[in-house]
Structure 1
Amino acid sequence: MNARRHPGQRYPGQRAGLTKEQVIATANDVLADGGFGALTMRAVAERLAVAPNALYSHVANKTELVDEVLDATLRTIREPATDDVEAVLREIMAETLTALLRHPDLMPAFLARQGSRGPHARRLGDIMAAALERVGITGSDAVEARRVLIVYTIGFAAFAAGPPEGNPVPLDELQHNFASGLQWLLAGILAGRC
């Protein structure tokens, strides 16, 4: 005879109030503690004290989980409060670098996934595309300009996130180098506009 479940009663493996934000935060913790190779659905479920299948109502698989974790790092990046195209692009890339440097443990995942694909990444991409369009850079030229800026920024973050013993360049010097290189890139992109 099957026992009737009361409204609000949980099934085995469920956890009351488990949210997507908790799943992503816990995945981030697993990455911070064990690196990219340690991140599995089972490891996240164990930290949350739920069965792995409880995670699937929030993320479809490990790939989506990684994409969500990567995208969450971009959540704090705001739309620049200026119409100056160079300033918009510079501020977004500088804030992206800062966000990436706060999570050096995520660099292998950013490199493996070639960036983020979530809603925050798309929002920033749309802001960049709109800025480029204001100066006549559209279509494949705009896509290429954005890609170059993103690859530059992720590359710098990966270089800066390297092990301290293998990275003799101080962080403040690297950040200065990043700003100088970004200025050169933007000058070239904007000078070549249609």
Structure 2
Amino acid sequence: MGLFSKEPAVFLRVDLIDDCFREELDKERKFLEGIYVSYEGKEMSFEEAVDNVNKCVESAGLKVLVSLGTSLNSQRLIESLRKIKAKDKVLVTLNDVSQLREVQKGIPEVPLGLFIRHPFPNFREIRKNGAVFSVMLHNLVKGRTVREANSAGVYLVAWLVNDAATYLKLESVGINGVITEKPSIVKEAGKLMK
């Protein structure tokens, strides 16, 4: 896959629908009203949310991981992905296997992955379900985890790395990618190595 290479790929965190930390009732109300919340907490329309993703994707050399909420139906998620330009720079992560399968059928050209919250996932099962990558919390990633993922044909991406020392630790265990809010993380890590 072109988004991954020998060096860890760095993906900017861009949430098209980032409402996962709100109360469930409030979350449902906002989705029903068609309101989306940016990472900064700004409410925006669906069109503004897609424009926000496109602006990040169009930045020079920037790769983006888009987190999609699962409260929307799969058809709405497929519609949102079709509006994103430069799909060759975009990864999409979902939290639900059944939704991943449905979205994959609707827009197969976008690489889809699963967000995993436990330390011992079954990567063969993840791959069998159609995910080409898996996202894990960075503190759960060990060298063995990376080897198991890669031997099952799954790229492993660490979630949310904003510290250069953490980036270097993950690089040393062979991580395939990191998600950050600081695109300068590689430069900062290089300075630590000097």
Of structures 1 and 2, the larger Rg is shown by: 1
Give the alignment's TM-score, normalised by structure 2. 0.28
- TM-score, normalised to structure 1, is 0.28
Q: Which has more strand, going by share of residues?
A: 2
